[in-house]
Amino acid sequence: MQPSRDFITALVERHVAEGRYTEIVTRFPPEPNGFLHIGHVKAIALNFGIAAKFGGRCHLRFDDTNPETEDESFVRAIQEDLHWLGYDWGEHLYFAADYFERMYGIAEELVRKGKAYVDSATEEEIREARGSLTEPGRATAYRDREVAENLDLLRRMRAGEFEDGEHVLRAKIDLVSPNMVMRDPVLYRIRHARHYRTGDEWCIYPMYDYAHCLGDAFEGVSHSFCTLEFENNREIYEWVLEAVGFEEPRTHQYEFARLNLDYTVLSKRKLVRLVREGRVSGWDDPRMPTVAAFRRRGVPAEALRSFSGMVGVTKAEARVDVEKLEYAIRDALNGVAPRVMGVLRPLRLIVTTWPEGSEEWLDAPSFPPDVGKEGSRKVPFARELLIEQDDFLVEPPEGYRRLAPGREVRLRYGYVVRYDSHDVDPATGEVTVVRVTHDPASRGGDAKGRPVAGTIHWVSSGHALPAELRLYDRLFNVPDPSDVPEGTDFTVHLNDESLVVIGDARVEPSLADAPSGTRWQFERTGYFWPDPVDSSPERLVLNRVVTLRDRWTRKEGTPRAEKGASLAALTPVGPGPDRGRGERDAARAHDPDLASRMASYREALGLGEGEADLLTGDRATSAFFEGALEVHQQAKSVAAWVINELPREVRGRPLTELPFGPDELGRLVGLVDEGAVSRVAAKKVLAELADRGGDPEVILDRMGLRQVADRGAVFVHVEKVLSNWPAKVEEYQAGKRGLLGFFVGQVVRESGGGADPKVAKAILEERLG
């Protein structure tokens, strides 16, 4: 079984196999203006993962081209997060700012080549002249300046002779491009701002579309991965590198879908707002989806990494269930977190049969048997205990397996106790104390074979440590917080109960001796660890990392969240000219020759309208079709091959630049029609033609793909296949008819590609009954 690969791994694998690059180099390019979040982790895992998988390297490059928002503190925080996540870039730490001089030199070069100009229109004018999604842009008054003037202006821009916004450097590309990004994008802007890294050395700063691709190229990056919203920017990425003259093999950009997580926001803009407006305590507030927050909350780095592996890499915009993240966290913690007992909302439990003032230290294993780890601690048992308020109900619902009047329950690692009586506060109606008797024979929790309703956790009232517990829940009430009613914003969905602080919880005394950084599992409630900022030996403050899975309260009816929409998957390298019907109609309207061909294809050749339409959308296609038709006069089948099979192999190349011509296609189709080659085999031949060209018949013989339609010969293969797959045969005969295709495929493979699948199928049907 092949391990399944995402489309990016498959792409790089292909490049490696082709020997396209001498080394695989990726990069993670954060802008130092915010903290890393779980969405970045996906990109980080991808970039570092690809580099590691193919023995290459991954750079860390700060994309610091905007002095107004960036800051050294973010540079440090990002590196700290990355290291904590477990990634290392060795000496490959780079800053876009360090390339400013080189980038500027290239800008002058572009000006000299006439590929860039200084535009002195205002920002407003430029925007207006750029047109809109439906209107073409037009030139401003400065587009056709002389090279010398442009150069002079650019130098003076750099020298600081102008105010912010007086001029910009623009690429001279295409003002009517359907891709807005290509309408003469701004390359440099004047900004008299102090840069955290270059200080006051510069007053002009490059834009992303100019700086990013150059940074990649300077560093010898082979694969530049970014998220889907940069799809339109790929064209400018290529334009700049070509204009500058970077030659293959060089970097190219590939896009994948960013991560979206249920019940949270992952846009930097929104996260900044939460911090600025004090909705959270900071970037590392444990409710935030940032790496720093997960770390503070107690989530192990491993959980974040394994989560990234679970979500996959595709081009489909998707929103991942938070349950998946929670699963990854529990999965990482289950095997390593020692079990302890802690009571969140204490209720007094008096063991009336236990002597006053007496205590007993019981042995409690730190892990259940299935975890398979040694170790235990002592827990004190006494007359007055504390249990969870939820674990005693005067009127228990059906299926309740805890303490209730008349019932017995096991105190974990302690004794089986039987209900005796309880008191109620007449004012509030709340239970204030429960009295039970214990069975001395059940010491350690051994119920001696009698059925006990359930097992509950507890602490000794006199020995327990007080602790503040911080219970975190999802920050938002809805799966997609950015989906908001008109006139409001995502903050309306903030969950008021995302943080519940329990000031007076009680935990077993062993917590005082635990090594720092320990994550515990509070049995039956969840995973906790000391808050790294606020906890101290004098005052325990514990964060709940994640709850335990809880089938009981789930059953009680918390409705599962409904899901939002989704989207989706793969990037071919070259853009395929996608012509729609409208475009083909337009082509024919402008070219009477095409129009008359469409008519004659239908009348003289007997093709259907759809076929005739597809073949006459442009001259190259119709010429190709006719060329093939000259060699093999079967319009129907030639048309089918040109329409259905040719495009896949062409992959966006102009038909005139193929390593084979209509002649070869015509002969190939002829061979198919005369039965010399099966369709499957012919497709292989076509692929070979598209790759390297050649003579169809020669390829056919070389690859041993001559059709074997002889019944006897195919029969032999059928027998072989049937005896190779006895289990499949049984399944088929038990009714799994879908397997027929599998057998046909096997027979064709067994024959080396030559067997006629029609014949094979017929024989198989007979043989299998």
Partner RNA sequence: GGCCCCCUGGUGUAAUGGCAGCACAAUAGCCUUUGGAGCUGUUGGUCCAGGUUCGAAUCCUGGGGGGGCUACCA
Question: Taking CB under 7 A as the criterion, which residues in 667-686 touch RNA?
Answer: 678-680, 683
Residue 473 interacting with RNA (CB under 7 A): no
State yes or no: residue 45 binds RNA (CB under 7 A): no
Site for RNA contains 250 (CB under 7 A): no
**Residue 368 interacts with RNA (CB under 7 A)?**
yes
Closest C-alpha to 445, from 370, 368, 337: 368
Of residues 536-575, those binding RNA (CB under 7 A): 548-552, 554-555, 560, 562-563, 565-571, 575
Q: Which is nearer to RNA, 105 or 136 (CB)?
A: 136
CB of residue 92 vs RNA: minimum separation in angstroms? 18
268 is catalytic: yes
Report d(CA 237, CA 224) in Å as an integer. Answer: 10
- The least distance separating RNA from the CB of residue 543, rounded to whole angstroms, comes to 18
Task: Give the residue with the Cβ less far from RNA, 277 or 370.
Answer: 370
CA 436 to chain centroid, in Å, comes to 54
Q: Which residues contact 354 (CB under 8 A, 6 or more apart)?
A: 381, 382, 383, 438
Q: 19-23 — which CB contacts under 8 Å span 24+ positions?
A: 20/249, 21/222, 21/249, 22/249, 23/55, 23/56, 23/57, 23/220, 23/222
744 binds RNA (CB under 7 A): yes
Does position 361 interact with RNA (CB under 7 A)? The reply is no
Contact between 65 and RNA per CB under 7 A: yes
Count Cβ atoms below 10 Å from residue 18 Cβ, excluding itself: 9
User: Taking CB under 7 A as the rule, does residue 401 contact RNA?
Assistant: yes
What secondary structure does DSSP assign to 653-711, as a single string? --GGGSSS-HHHHHHHHHHHHTTSS-HHHHHHHHHHHHHH---HHHHHHHTT---B--H
Cis-peptide, bond into residue 249, ω within 30° of zero: yes
285/721 with CB nearer RNA: 721
Answer for which of 145, 279, 653, 728 binds RNA (CB under 7 A) is: 728
Smallest distance, Å, CB 311 to RNA?
A: 4
Task: Report if residue 238 touches RNA, rule: CB under 7 A.
Answer: no
* Residue 683 falls in the annotated catalytic set: no
Marked catalytic residue, from 143, 191, 258, 667 = 258
270 binds RNA (CB under 7 A): no
- Smaller CB distance to RNA: residue 57 or 61? 61
Binding string to RNA for residues 619 to 658, with x set by CB under 7 A, is what? ------------------x--x--xxx-xx----------
Query: With binding defined as CB under 7 A, does residue 13 bind RNA?
Result: no
Residues in the chain, overall count: 769
Q: Specify the residue, 435 or 758, whose C-beta has the smaller distance to RNA.
A: 758
408, 523, 626, 750: which one binds RNA (CB under 7 A): 523
Residues 576-615 that bind RNA (CB under 7 A): 576, 578-581, 610, 614
User: How far is 95 from 205, CA to CA, in rounded Å?
Assistant: 14
User: Given the structure tokens 């929409």, which residue do they identify?
Assistant: 565
Q: By CB under 7 A, is residue 228 in contact with RNA? A: yes
Q: Is 200 in the site for RNA (CB under 7 A)?
A: no
Cα–Cα distances (Å) from 670 to 179, 436, 552, 636, 637, in that order, read: 43, 93, 69, 12, 9
Annotated catalytic residue: which of 53, 130, 268, 418?
268
The rounded distance, in Å, linking the Cα atoms of 206 and 110 is: 14
63 contacts RNA (rule: CB under 7 A): yes
580 versus 592: smaller Cβ distance to RNA: 580
Site stretch for RNA (CB under 7 A), options 207-215, 347-355, 590-598, 655-663: 207-215
476 neighbors 263 (Cβ within 8 angstroms): yes
Give the C-alpha distances (Å, rounded to integers) separating 286 from 292, 537, 548. Answer: 8, 21, 18
For residue 113, indicate whether it is catalytic. no
Q: Is 484 in the site for RNA (CB under 7 A)?
A: no
Contact yes or no for 389/356 (Cβ under 8 A): no
Q: What string of H, E and C letters represents the secondary structure of 256-316?
A: ECCEEECCCCCCHHHHHHHHHCCCCCCCCCCCCCEHHHHHHHCCCHHHHHHHHHHHCCCCC
Closer residue to RNA in complex, CB, 76/736: 736
Nearer to RNA, 257 or 628 (CB): 257
Q: Does 750 bind RNA (CB under 7 A)?
A: no
The yes or no reply on residue 175 touching RNA (CB under 7 A) is: no
Contact 121, 142 (CB under 8 A): yes
Q: What's the maximum distance between 2 C-alpha atoms anywhere in the chain?
A: 109
Name the residues annotated as catalytic.
31, 258, 268
